[in-house]
Chains A and B, each alone.
Chain A
Amino acid sequence: MNFNIPFMRYRRYATIGSLVLLLLSVGSLSFKGLNLGLDFSGGTLIEVSYEEAADLIDIRDLMTNNGFDDFQVVNFGSNSDVLIKVADKNGNSQLGDVIYKFLQDADPSTELKRIEFVGPQIGSELRDQGGLGMLVALGMILLYVAFRFQYKFALGAVAALAHDVVIILGLFSLLSWDFDLTVLAALLAVIGYSLNDTIVVSDRIRENFRGERGFEPDQIVNRSINQTLSRTLITSITTLLVLFALFLFGGDMIKGFSQALIIGVLVGTYSSIYVVANMLLGLSITQDDLAIPEPEGAEFDDMP
């Protein structure tokens, strides 16, 4: 496939589009916030399965009768599987056992699938660690790209990554999807994936800047994007294929993970085309920025 799409002609619209998405995401994040999963919020979660479809109203009544007030009862996966979440600020680790006991007393066929308890302290620690890890990853990538390419590329790459991460977070906030540890893992995998794309495009831009003189920067960028487009699309397709396999057949415990990655691959593909190129042109990249450095010996002449 040969492409010759004038991507850079539309770059203003893309910028506006990205900015709108980013504003929406930041807005949703600051007003609505993330629906933090158990890993980060702390509390108790218990999953049980029944032989037949479970009566959620009955279970809710049972919970209320046993003195619980801040809890959620939902179906998980199938209608015979039930997930109960209890927010508990005191960090009582016995709740799961207590709940399972009265559920089993009410219906002996109740089968325990899992209990998770995360103390409030651990929750906030995981939260801090996750945020810090994200920043460390971005920082190290910035350094590596700056070292291998040039700082303008590094800024472009990190801007693209931040763009992807913020939009995924925004979507999770907007749709009130649970944000837990596996989603955080997916987010870091998105960083890895999107970076992959970005590097491939940047690499081609660098090569074309060095190899061909006498073109406008936006022409060179445009051609580089077109040259790498078929590879970008094919890799996105194969990755999406496996992610959909995971989403459809992988079970409910990693649904959030595959959701985050699917969005991430879509947004990441877009950002490696537009965000990086936009940043580079915005920072007015020139051929001199990418000139192959003079042989080292030349520098010594300038030394006093």
Chain B
Amino acid sequence: MVLSIGVIYSLPNLYPAKPAIQIAYTDSGKSADQILLNQVKDILQDQATAVESVGLKDNNIIAKFDSFNDQLAGKAALQKILLDEAVVALNLEPTTPQWLKNIGGGPLKLGLDLSGGVHFLLEVDIDSALDNRLESLLNEYRKKFRDDRINVESSRKDNKDLVFSFASDEDYNKALRIFNEDNITPLGTPLYDLTANSARNLIELAYSQSAIKEIRDYAVGQNLMTLRNRVNELGVSEPIVQRQGSSRIVVQLPGVQDTTAAKKIIGKTANLEFRLEAASTTSRLRKEEFDWQDERMGSAFLEKNIIVAGERVTNASSGFDESGFAQVNITLDMQGGRAMQKATNGNIGRRLGVLFVEQKNKSVLTQDADGNDVIEQTSYIEKEIISLATVQAVLGTAFRITGVGSPQEASELALLLRAGALAAPMKFVEERTVGPSLGKENIELGVRSIIIGLLSVIAFMLFYYRWFGFAANIALFANVVLITGFMSLLGATLTLPGIAGIVLTIGMAVDANVLIFSRIREELKDGKDPQTAIQEGFSRAFVTIVDANVTTLIASIVLYAIGTGPVKGFAITLSIGILTSMFTAILGTRAIINLMYGNKNIKELRV
């Protein structure tokens, strides 16, 4: 029963993956539709490319081909015509039959070391995000105390603390009340750790642990989202963008060959520019025209002078104003606030524009010296107005944009603002690139060593144990099938060390059978008759087998817990291998031996 499940779920690995092309709209918000599908079909037909099938699959169009040459020809043809409208990516599409898919079957996923591709580990610099927050917090309180006429003697940022000292007891008490009122997060936990010294009228403020955690989660979440958007732009078939630990992000792009380009796109930063709208009298030299859909003219003029750029934005969120209309709240750091104050002072009534600046890639069809079509990638900078609103007061570190339309539109604007202002800088801390040729080579070598290893163990067992060895070999073979079946079923990823794990399991899996057989031998030597010897051999070896395997399992679970990437792959195959080998060696071999010797009156037994 278990074996048949193993067989069924390992079946998909026998169906080779077909070369395919994945096509999606460049605009990631738009899913592939019938129009694009027809367009793709037409293009492929015009080019007389031998395509096997074209169809829609989860927001993408998948075209399957019979050979890699057809696939490449198809890609070139599609790219030439679709250019920037759609992302065209090479892909491998499993050919698992429908009935297998229906019961959740699918081939093994290959790790990067087998499929080729890039792995990045990025670290989000939380400290600088925290510093920014503290700076703007300091500024906010300075303003508040000024407005409330609280006399502050000195205020400064000291490492991770803000230190305020007050002129009088009265000022101190008022300030303390304000701090205590603010000291709560939306979740009800304290926002600050406050240390008050009433004798010296000194208050020290630091973010509480829970607030720091929230800031960290926000910063990482923000970066994660930005990264996902950028990775989508790359058109990779199965990208992974995941948070790892408290402040790291893993990006895996299987099959990507041009790593430099991938890194450029991932590492690039979108930016924001806050500029005042140019007055109609401003000279042409000092203003620029940008598209702006809300305007009757379809465009607006902004001054060339940039007040504040994206790195000064510490937070942006959507909310509601007093009368229930959607608004966007923006927080700048201290320096940004000062610049904004200077720029808006005396300019109330004028409009303030926010530009979204992004580096983009464009494919251009050109011809090389020999007259062949070449698609060239050029990068350019795109600037677009995302907000243009009237200044109603002198702005500081915290201000809001009202009249932004629906709550949906407000949250979109906040998202854009945040995407432009990467919540915290990131840096690459680990990078692994595996070229496609190495991946293929690794698969070949891995499969070859599995086969050679398996054959030599089978030969040895046959030679040493004869018929019992034959039974053990069938169990061993079943074991390999079970491992691949379970790994496919669990959706585990096969890596090169994972293959090593399978090879090692093959060597160690016969151990249980060896234990049983040598027990049977001893029982025979003690003068027991063959049937009893077999019975006794199995039951006495059982305890030993369990003890020995449980301890190995402990080691491999620890390995899984501490390992990363490829090593985890090894731990997974080893653990699965231990479990399946216990099963096949104890139950499987027993069944076979019963079949061979059961109900027979054997006079002599050779083990």
Binding site for B on A (CB under 8 A): 2, 47, 49, 91, 93, 96-97, 101, 111-119, 121-122, 126, 129-130, 132-133, 136-137, 140-141, 144-145, 148, 181-182, 184-185, 188-189, 191-193, 195-196, 199-200, 203-204, 227-228, 230-231, 234-235, 237-243, 245-246, 248-251, 253-254, 257-258, 261
Contact = CB atoms under 8 A, between A and B. Distances in A.
A193 B555 CA distance: 9
Contact of B548 (A122, A181, A195, A243): A195
Contacts of B113: 253
Interface stretch (B201-209, B332-340, B501-509): B501-509
27 contacts: A93-B428, A115-B259, A115-B432, A119-B430, A136-B561, A136-B562, A141-B554, A144-B550, A144-B551, A182-B566, A189-B556, A192-B551, A192-B556, A228-B518, A231-B515, A238-B507, A241-B453, A241-B507, A242-B503, A243-B507, A245-B452, A245-B503, A249-B448, A250-B449, A250-B500, A251-B446, A253-B442
Contacts of A246: 449, 453, 500, 503-504
B415 interface: no
Nearest to A243: B507
Interface stretch (B75-83, B86-94, B142-150, B433-441): B433-441
A115 B431 contact: yes
A141 B555 contact: yes
B358 interface: no
Q: Which of B514, B555, B561 has the most CB of A within 10 A?
A: B555
Contacts of A182: 497, 500, 566-567, 570
B562 A113 contact: no
B21 interface: no
Given A144-B554, A196-B551, A200-B544, A114 B508 contact: no
Nearest to A47: B438
Contact of B456 (A97, A230, A241): A241
Contact of A258 (B500, B547, B554, B571): B500
Contacts of B522: 227
B453 A113 contact: no
A114 to B, nearest CB: 5
How many of chain B's residues touch chain A, expressed as a range? 35 or more
Given A122-B429, A192-B552, A241-B457, A113 B434 contact: yes
B564 interface: yes
B449 A130 contact: no
A120 B105 CA distance: 41
Interface of B: 113, 121, 123, 259-260, 263, 427-435, 437-438, 441-442, 445-446, 448-449, 452-454, 456-457, 460-461, 464, 496-497, 499-501, 503-504, 506-508, 510-511, 514-515, 518, 522, 525, 543-544, 547-552, 554-556, 558-559, 561-564, 566-567, 570-571, 574
B433 A114 contact: yes
A269 to B, nearest CB: 12
